[in-house]
Structures are given as C-alpha cells and as structure tokens.
Amino acid sequence: MNKTVYKNLFKPLKLNELRLKNRITMAPLFLGYALEGGKVSALMLYHYKLMAQGGAALIVVENASITPAGSGSTRTLRCDHNRYLPDLEKLAATIKDQKARAALQINHAGRFAHVVEPVAPSAVDTFGRTPRELTRREIVSIQKQFANAALRAKKAGFDLVELHGGTGYLLAQFVSPRTNQRIDDYGGSLENRLRFPLEILKRVKDTVGDFPVGYRFLADEWLPDGLGPQESVVLARELEENGITYISAMGGTYESFFLPEVIKKSSKPGYMVSLAAAVKKHVSVPVIAAGRISTPARAESILKAKKADLIGLARVLWVDPQWPQKARRGQERAITKCSPKCDACLQLVMKGKPAYCPRWSKEKRQAYRSLFR
C-alpha cells in the first residue's frame, strides 16, 4: 500500500461495530438512473460499482421512497415493498463486492412529493400548490413505513440505513418552524417539532435492532424564517441521545437552493463544512461534512481541524470516481473537478432526465447512455 500524505483522510473509523477503511464517503446523489417506477436498473448497478470501485469507504445510495405517496419522482428508487428486495440485494452486493460499505438512504418527500395530493405537516404553499395536512393516524402510518423500509435495507444486505432529514423533505418539514404550523403535539415548540423524526428513529431502531442508523441532517434552511443552527443542534443532540450512528450535515432546501445568495454560497469550496463543524461541537457521534470538497488537501485539513470526522463527496465523486485512489497515490492533479459554474446534473434531474456530467469523456457519456432505459 502506498504511503499517503493524507494521514487523517486514510485513517480507519468505526461506526458502531462497522469498520470504515478510510474517511471518504459518497454522499447520496439522486441522478434519475432508476427505472420508471423506481426499480434498480442496469445503469444504477454500473454507476454504483464505479462509485465503490474508486476506494471510498462508504457509499450512501441516493434517497429511496418508503411509500409511493412520498416519492420525489417517477425515477426515484423505491423500498416500500418486498418486491423491491431482490434488486436492492443486487445493489448492496454490487457496492460491497468492491470492498465498500453500503448504506441506503430512505425518504418521504412530503410536500415535494411528485404525486397528485402531496402531504405535509401543515398546508403551507409549495410553489403554488398546497399540500394536505397529515392526520395523526397518517403520521403513525408513515413512521411504520420508515421502519419497514429500514428493515428491508437490512434484509437486502446494506450495512447501514440513513434517514433523510435533509433537503427540506418530510422529516425536515416537521422540524422547520416555516413548514410546521401544527397546533397539536407535533407542532409549535421545538420539542414538539422534533417529535416526528425522533419517533421515527425510535421505531426504526426497535425494528432493525442492532443495525447502524445514520441521519442526513438539515442544519440550516438558509431562509430568513427557516430552521437555523440554533435549533437544529438541539435535534443533533437528541439524535445522539436516541442512538443515531452518525450525522451527515447539509444546508438548504428546494426553496433556498435557487436564491442568488445561496447559489453564490454553494459555488464555494467546502460551503457546508461550517454546518458540520457547528453540529460537531454538540455531539460525539461521527459527523460527515459535504459540499464541494474537491481536493484531498481540503478534505485532509477539515479532518485535521476536527471540523468533521468523515468527508461526503457527491458530485465530486461522480465526476471522478477515482478521486480516493488518486488522493492516496498523490495524483491529485489528475482529479477531474466538478465546475462550480455548472449545474447541469441538477437541471437534468429536475426535468426528469438522467444526469450526465459535461466533464466526462464522450466514451463515458456513451457508456452511461447505452445503459439508460
């Protein structure tokens, strides 16, 4: 094995009993590669094999729906029924065959679901549509769906499951003072707004037993009247108290991603590291930092400064799956970088099209395209 100058980056870490061979993780990245209806496709298997081959310790598979009613698009992965199990097994095995740990992110998109009647904690306008407020009975039923989906991830052979509390999806909608205007004990005070994700965590843990559960964590909505770190760190502490395995910090929601100041902020290297650092001050479980961590030197300095315990690469790894190997071998100049001026992948997936990266070679684009169904 080559000696590396990035000593912190290539130091192993344990997530409960699970050994990670280094500090590099793939942050979840939805690219529209599942089949219409949400089944795992040949393209997905090819894509995740590439992602795992490069040497990252942990691959967190993009958000998978716990119910069709909470699906973000017709090409969002599904894990809401046992009929998806055989394909999910193939996906987990594809990643693990490459000696990476595999996690599945599970999600309910709430008011952002691509359905006729989206549901949410409260009937708050969502780009001109108003979701229906969830009843208490529905709340319990969604919690059960999370638990069942987590159990499916375990049965399919994933090493971990990640609850999607980011991007302004349902879990985050309950925590946010903007989108949760309920007057029952799921709304109002911070304690009440945290109830829904914490009850889900409890139910998931009771169902999966001794199985690691991570959390994609919305630290800041980046909206004037939205959730900010002052409140979100309270959730971080509660998650730790209730047995979360790691916290993967992020900022922004669909309502802030396209604001000029957020576009500007998120074009900067390491733009979400300060959020991870803020969370890390309050918990002792491992914290993942993501957001344009393009160079191994930056990743190393984040770990060295103890701003995070793990590095999350999403587009950064997708553009160049060999990033970890190149970092280890000291070939950082050979890394293909995601351009901060480009948002082609996001634009494509938002139009319901499979994403490709303009930085890829013609051959690579053709290889992806030839597998798209």
- Using CB under 6 A as the binding rule, the residues of this chain from 60 to 99 that contact ligand FMN are 62-63
CA atoms 54, 280, 146, 352: torsion sign: negative
Among 29, 103, 204, 233, binds ligand FMN (CB under 6 A): 29
| Short-list 116, 209, 199, 114, CA closest to 161 | 209
Bridge partners of residue 126, in order along the sequence: 129
Which of residues 182 and 222 has its CB atom nearest to ligand FMN in the complex? 222
How many residues sit close enough to ligand FMN to count as binding (CB under 6 A)? 22
- Using CB under 6 A as the binding rule, the residues of this chain from 342 to 371 that contact ligand FMN are 345-346, 349
Cβ–Cβ < 8 Å for 330, 349? no
d(CA 307, CA 288): 9
Based on the shown chain and the rule CB under 6 A, indicate whether residue 33 belongs to the binding site for ligand FMN.
no
Q: Which stretch binds ligand FMN (CB under 6 A): 180-188, 232-240, 321-329, 341-349?
A: 341-349
Among 40, 100, 283, 313, binds ligand FMN (CB under 6 A): 313
Residue from 48, 84, 169, 215 carrying the catalytic annotation:
169
- 169 catalytically annotated: yes
Bridge partners of residue 248, in order along the sequence: 216, 288
CB of 52 to ligand FMN, least distance (A): 16
How far is C-alpha 272 from the chain's CA centre? 14
CB of 291 to ligand FMN, least distance (A): 4
Start-end of H helices in the chain: 42-53, 85-96, 136-155, 170-175, 190-193, 195-208, 229-241, 260-265, 273-280, 296-304, 315-319, 323-328, 344-350, 362-371
Left if phi > 0, otherwise alpha if psi is -120 to 50, otherwise beta: which for 288?
beta
Residue 97-126 contact track with ligand FMN, rule CB under 6 A, x = bound: --------x---------------------
Which residues contact ligand FMN (rule: CB under 6 A)?
27-30, 62-63, 105, 164, 166-167, 216, 250, 290-292, 313-316, 345-346, 349
Q: Which residues are tagged catalytic?
A: 169
